[in-house]
Structure formats: structure tokens, C-alpha cells
Chains A and B, each alone.
Chain A
């Protein structure tokens, strides 16, 4: 048996273990040399990316991977299950985290001076938490990782803007704890009525006791809990402050990933713990979700128009975009589900790119007010071009990723006979134009005689490279959306709606 074969069987768990161990070793690495942690994080993230990629390929080729932790058989032991859904989400997490880790070098040095080592340590633990939440097949283990990711996120946010960062973090802490309590209560209820913590097992046991009020309460608690975690309107109040005041690197990471994983958890619980016909027909939960999401789409966009701080604007835009994902799920038909799932990928790419751009601009100029961006197109041409591509994606211009998910969502809404959602989606793309075009106008136009003398002064290469890669991917997956859709999204939607999350 070669060394690789030895590792190969343990690849699923390694996505969690690698960042965990790397996280705990970071202080030692940082103690050796203060410049090392950046390389260390990048290395760790790259390894995780390879493993996550390998996992997804394995799942596509040979079906779901089940991994018994410590060799204990489920439902007694903890089981890690990688199917298309979490294989896909894991790869997104790993990729975005890798991009952000490359980007972080200069940004962290400037924004959290003297605390780079703890920052990176927490960074890795956050990834551990997110990976764990995604990959686990055990409902209580899920909760443990949820807490890990939340606590680390509080810490990262608190390292941001002096004063404001701490307040934002504290707000998030309160709301996050309320959410976690709801989820924990839900888990407790389900454990009480089924006697198991394994998701697949629970899904088998639950249908016979669906009329039980405790099960209904558990579902309601989960939905409320996760709605807070993803920042679904009107439970979004913590989100804008947290995104705005966190360090740029953390904003990109949290905005790109935290809400996606929350959305993943929501999908997993609805279709992988409960069954599709229960959440769709019996309780009508998906319908409620779709309407809440539609509201979030509109309100998020409208509030984004009112912002002048670029990061805050992007935060409100996230509230609206998370609505896209949940609307797709809430439509509960094949095409809508495809749109929602595709938007998980698309939004991660676009929003991460946008936050990275905001960070790069802040790094170079110290400006976050978008009305002071005049002449920036000349000063930072690459950065602003990335911004333009990502923003056009958000608007949903064809040829970019935003279009593909918008297309599916609109088509899914028509299929569901919900014409009002079609109008919501289309109206929201108009609103997106409004708030992004203000930035375009400021970047590209301005008084020529003021701009004429601005010299080119780009962000460092470590910042530019990940932004450019993300922007290129926005276009690539806009034109070649066939591949993710064909290999992952389509079979996944079939699996979720017909068979449930865990075959």
C-alpha cells in the first residue's frame, strides 16, 4: 500500500483536520518568523483545495463518500458524508479561502498590524468550522462546528475598525447566539423524539412522527436559526455592521462564505433531515421561504441604494443576493433549485471579488465612501475593471455568472406559476444597476482636469492576482455554465427534490 492510498481513504476528514491542525500550529510558525504565517495559511488552504477538489471528483464519478469517524458505525458514531451538495459547497469554501489567503498578505499587515499571527490562526479555525459544518453527517457535530465558525467569525470581526468592529462583533455575537440557541433547541427536540443524531438515520425515522408537534417546532426553530445566520430579511440587522467593520480580508471571507454555508445548512436540514414532501407540501415551509426571500431581494437592493460606504452597500447587496439563493430553494421545483444552487457558486465568486476590490481600494487610498472614488479608474485600472466585471455579474448581464442563475430563477418562477417572483428578480436587477452605476460613474467619470494628473498606482500583485482570477471565473462560468450545471447542479437538484439529500 503506497502512502497515497493510505491517505486516500481519509481524504474526507482531512478537509477538516488540515485547517484545524494548521490553525493550532500557526502561533508556532509565527513565533519562528512573523512573515511565515501567510505562506503557512496559503499552503494549508492549497492542500485543502486539492483535497476538496479530489472529493468532489470522486463523488461525481463514484457516488457519495461515507466516512466513519474513528471506525464507529453510524448511527452510533459520527459519520462524515460527502455527496454532491456538500462536495460542491466544500470546493467553493476551499477555493474562496485559498483566494482570500493569497490576497490577505498586505491587507492584514496594514489593517491588523501586530496581530497577523492570531489573525491567521483564527482564519484557519474559521475554515475548519465551515468545512466541518458542511461535511458532517451528524447533527450535533454540526452544531459544534457551527459554534467554532461563529466564535472565530466574532473574533475576526472584532479585529476590524477600532471601536466599531467590536460593537459590530458584539451585535453579531448576540444575534449569532440567539440563532445557535434556536438550532440547538431544534436538535434537542429531534434527538428527544428520534433518539438519533445521524442525519440519514433521522430522515428515515422522522416521517412516521411528522404529525408530532415537537417535530414541527424543531423545523420552525431551525428555519429561524438559519435565517438569522444567513441574514435573511428581517433578521439581517447584524450583517451590515459586521461586514462593514471587519478587516477587508475577513469581510471577503465572511461575505463570500458564511452566509453560503448557512444557506447550505438550511438546504441540508430541509431536504436531508426532513423530507422534501414534508417541507414542500405538508408544512408549506418552502413557500414561506420563497416569499421571505423575495422580500429580502427587494429590501436588500433598496437599502443598498441608500448606502455611501462601499462595504456597507455590498453588505446590503448580500442580503438581497442571499434572497436569490433561498428563492430558488423555496420555489421547490427543478429549475428553481438549480438556479438557487448555481447562485451559491456565482454569488461566492462575485461577492468575494467585490469585497476584495473594496479592500484593495481601501488599502491604497483609505477611502470607503464611494462618492470619493472620482478618478479611481485611472489610478487603479485593473482593480476597477475587476469591480466592473463583478458588478455587471451582480446586475446579471449575459456572459457573466449572474445571468445564468437569474435565468434559472426567472424560468423556475414561471414554471411554478409565480409570476410575481419573476418581477421581483427583474426589478432587483434594475435596482442593482442603480446602486452599482453610481460607483461606475464615480470611478470612470469626474472632472477631467482633476483626473488628468493622477498617476497609475495599483494594488500589490498578491492582491491583484486573486481578484483577477475571480473576475475571470465570473466570465468563464458565465459562458461555460454548462459544466457545473451538467455535472453537479442538475443531478443534485434531482437528488434533493426526489430522493432527499442523503441517498
Chain B
């Protein structure tokens, strides 16, 4: 397939729009309604700009734009391909929902420093889309660091000593990751003279001696600590101290997916499919992430705090994506990449439900949620939808990606990996069903009246739940995620499925 490069400034605009919005947010800090207005406007424009590139991408083209030559042979440049736009669509689309949800959440709880909150949120979104569109490792690194820095004030938002120490933990993990990533980039540049992603992997990577290559792979994966592989996952549950919209968008979608996205970029577009297979690295990585999939699910079982349980569930689910990518088979790749948007929709629904419970019922722990569905039926139905998706029950989206992953594992005749996927599905059921059971069937301690969260919160979480079902019932709708993923997979494998 011939790939045509189209030069257009749209990627830069899509990244910058929320940066500009962040300035406006700061300027209108005294007028909350106008301030939030800017966030909304930016969210819609951003999504519009991203989606405007989709037709070109679906034709198999890529959109490129070089911003500036930072150093000789080291440009800051954007290149939008199918995989990049997949992540960009996911995060910019969900930003619209979370903006509405944030307004409801922050105002209901009368949170302080809301201007800083919306300011940092806008910058974080810029960074996420920047990561999605990066044409080379250095540009990606730029936005990767920006994402870390801009999310720190969000994690430490409530400014209690506990929050600040969680923030420090967050920063420690992610900054060490950043340094490790930088090291890896330097090594890649040293051996190949470039850092630009390529569908077949960067040319010259095969000249790196085997030992160095393995070390390089490890440092790259440490660099992707945002993907929360065990044992580098501890920052994620700690970051749950942040306001729930932050957990929802950033720690279920933007930040963690940025980590996974980077991991996949490195595996497929830096090392390349051939080198991953030739060096045998894929198998070790597959086993390594399998451990995370199982262990994180077990950790999730042990949590009583709902947000923490969801956090461990995220840790486990993220590794599905990487597992899919390292299977290297077209089906495995499809499953892995497709899990980026699918998991995002389902997990954000779950987090928004958890936030609604905090705001309306003031309940964070599962053991306190007896019969809560009588008070908040809509929220809990949405929660059930998300949970079913996580477990992989049709018609909610999750079963689609699990199907592809299982196909990928079956193609490799790997009984171990098939077992991992199945066991993890059972574990998912084991930690989600109790929540549903407690909420719907346990008798509440005292009589509960119907009282849902404010509409600004309820509407987004219902909508994302509906989307989760739609993408499950009709995954192959034209122009939907599966289409995009098929192009991305064709790009890296050099052919169709």
C-alpha cells in the first residue's frame, strides 16, 4: 500500500488549541462560567480538528508537519498515522465528556483552585494529543515530560500532606521513567542517527549488538512507566488521591494510554515487527506483561476503595494492550490497539460512576455501598455496563478486543497466554461482580431515597456507557475504531489482515 504524506498544519493546531485555551482559562480565572466556556470551546475545536484528519487517514495517507528544527537533524515534528489518530480521537473525544463532568464534580464539592485545575487539564490534553501525533522520539519525549509536569498539580490538588506525598511518588516514578526514556532515545540516535518512527522500525536498529539491544528494550520499557507495568505501577493507585475526573480522563485514558501508546510506538515503530520477532524479545515481554495482568487483578480483588480497585483493574487492562502488540500476529495487534479506545470508554464510565458516588452518596468504599442502586439506579446501571465490558461479556465492547487477543494467542499455539487471558477474565468477574451485587442486592443499612448526581455528571457517564455498548454491537461500522486499527496494523505488518 502506497502511503502518501500530506503536509498540513492541522496537527499543530490540534495540539495548540488547548494550550491557547489554558491561557484563556488563566485570564478568566475570576469568572468561572466564561472559564469553563473556554474549556468547552477548546474541547470541541480540538475534537473537530482531530476528526477532520480522519478521512485522509482512512485512505491510508499520513499527515505531516515539521514545527521547528530544534537541533541539526533533530526536528520537532508531527506525523499523524492511523495509530496516532486512534489515540488522539479517544482522548480528545472523551475530553468533551469529562469537561462537563468536571464542572459538575468540582462545583458540587466546592473544590479550591479550580482555575489551576482546568488550566493543568487543558495542558495535559495538549500533551496527550502531542504524544499521539509525534513523528519522532524527541517530540514524543517533549510531550511525555510535559504531561508528567502538568498532571502533578492535578494529583496533588487537595494539597494535604498525603496528597503532596502521593504527588511526589507520582513524580518520582514518572521522572525516573522520563530519564530512562531519554537514555534510550540517546542510544537509538547514537546507533541510527535518527529518532523518526517508521512503519518497519527505525532502519539501523538491527546493527545494535544483542546485549545492548536487550538493555535498550528494558530501559525503553522502564521509560514507559506511565503504562504502569508491574513493578512500576505503584504511582497509579497513589494517584487516585486526585479528584475523580482526573482519575477518569488522565489515569484511565490520557496518561496511562500515553504510556501504552509510547510502548507500542517503541515496539512496533522503533524496533519494528521483524526485529521483535528476530530477537525473541516479544516472547519475554509477553510473559512479563502476563504477570502484570494476573497480579494486578489479584491486587484489585483485595481493594475495598472503589477507585483503588478500578486503578488496579486499569493496571491489568493496560497490559492487555501491550500483550496484544507483542504477539506480533495481525489479530493480536488488532486486539491490542483496539483495546486503547475500548478500554478508555469502559473505564472512564466506571470512574465517572465512582465519582458520582463520591459526590452524591459520599461513599468511596465498596463495603459502604449496600443497596446504593436504589438511590442511584442510573449510575449503577452505567457502572454495570462498564463492568460487563471489562469482564468481556457481549454486547459491551470488551468482548471484541478479548476475542482478537485470544485469536492472536491461539495463532501462536501458546496455551500459557490463552490461559492468562481466560484466568484474567475470571478474575475481572471476581472483582466486579461483588460491587454490582452489593449495590443492587444487599439491603441498605437505612432507607435510601432516589437521588442522582447532577446532570452535568450524569449525562456524560450515561453517554460513555452507551458508546461502550455501541462499539460492542457494531464494531465494524465504517470509520469506527476497527477501521482505523486495521489500517494501523496493515502499516506495521506491511499487508492486510
A residues lining the B interface (CB < 8 Å): 392, 397-399, 404, 406-408, 410-411, 414-415, 422, 426-427, 429-430, 433, 437, 441, 444-448, 478-482, 485-486, 490
Contact = CB atoms under 8 A, between A and B. Distances in A.
A72 to B, nearest CB: 42
B56 interface: no
B145 interface: yes
A430 B164 CA distance: 18
Contacts of B187: 414
A398 B175 contact: no
A446 B182 CA distance: 32
A410 B72 contact: no
B420 interface: no
A426 B183 CA distance: 8
A426 B182 contact: yes
A425 B76 CA distance: 23
Nearest to A452: B112
B208 to A, nearest CB: 12
A215 B174 CA distance: 50
B186 A482 contact: no
Contact of A485 (B68, B71, B171, B189): B71
SS of A interface (majority): helix
5 contacts: A404-B70, A407-B71, A426-B179, A441-B164, A485-B71
B156 interface: yes
Contacts of B116: 444
B71 A429 contact: no
Given A407-B186, A411-B190, A415-B190, A437 B171 contact: yes
A301 B138 CA distance: 26
Contact of B68 (A430, A444, A480): A480
Given A397-B146, A445-B156, 13 more contacts: A397-B145, A398-B138, A407-B186, A414-B186, A414-B187, A415-B190, A437-B171, A446-B159, A448-B159, A481-B70, A482-B69, A482-B72, A485-B72
A91 B322 CA distance: 51
B410 interface: no
Contacts of A426: 179-180, 182-183
A398 B179 contact: no
Contacts of A427: 179
A430 B179 contact: yes
B205 interface: no
Interface of B: 68-72, 74, 76, 112-113, 116, 138, 141-142, 145-146, 149, 153, 156, 159, 164, 168, 171, 175-176, 179-180, 182-183, 186-187, 189-190
A426 B116 CA distance: 30
Contact of B171 (A398, A410, A433): A433
Contacts of A410: 182-183, 186
B72 to A, nearest CB: 6
Contact of B149 (A397, A407, A482): A397
B70 A482 contact: yes
Nearest to B163: A445
Given A411-B190, A430-B175, A479 B76 contact: yes
A445 B112 CA distance: 12
Contacts of B175: 430, 433
A176 to B, nearest CB: 37
A430 B142 CA distance: 16
Nearest to B144: A398
Among A406, A482, A490, max chain B CB count under 10 A is at: A482
Contacts of B145: 397-398
Contact of B70 (A411, A445, A479): A479
B113 A448 contact: yes
A399 B146 contact: yes
A445 B159 contact: yes
Contacts of A441: 156, 164
Contacts of A397: 145-146, 149
Contacts of A415: 190
A448 B159 CA distance: 8
Contact of B71 (A399, A404, A444, A448): A404
Report the 10 A-B pairs with minimum CB-CB distance, sorted nearest first. A398-B142, A414-B190, A410-B186, A426-B179, A482-B69, A445-B159, A448-B112, A481-B71, A397-B145, A411-B186
Nearest to A437: B171
Nearest to A377: B116
Contacts of A482: 68-72
Contacts of A404: 70-71
A478 B168 CA distance: 26
A480 B70 contact: yes
B206 to A, nearest CB: 19
Contacts of A411: 186, 189-190
Among A404, A479, A490, max chain B CB count under 10 A is at: A479
A486 B112 contact: no
Contacts of B186: 407, 410-411, 414, 422
Given A410-B183, A422-B186, A445 B164 contact: yes
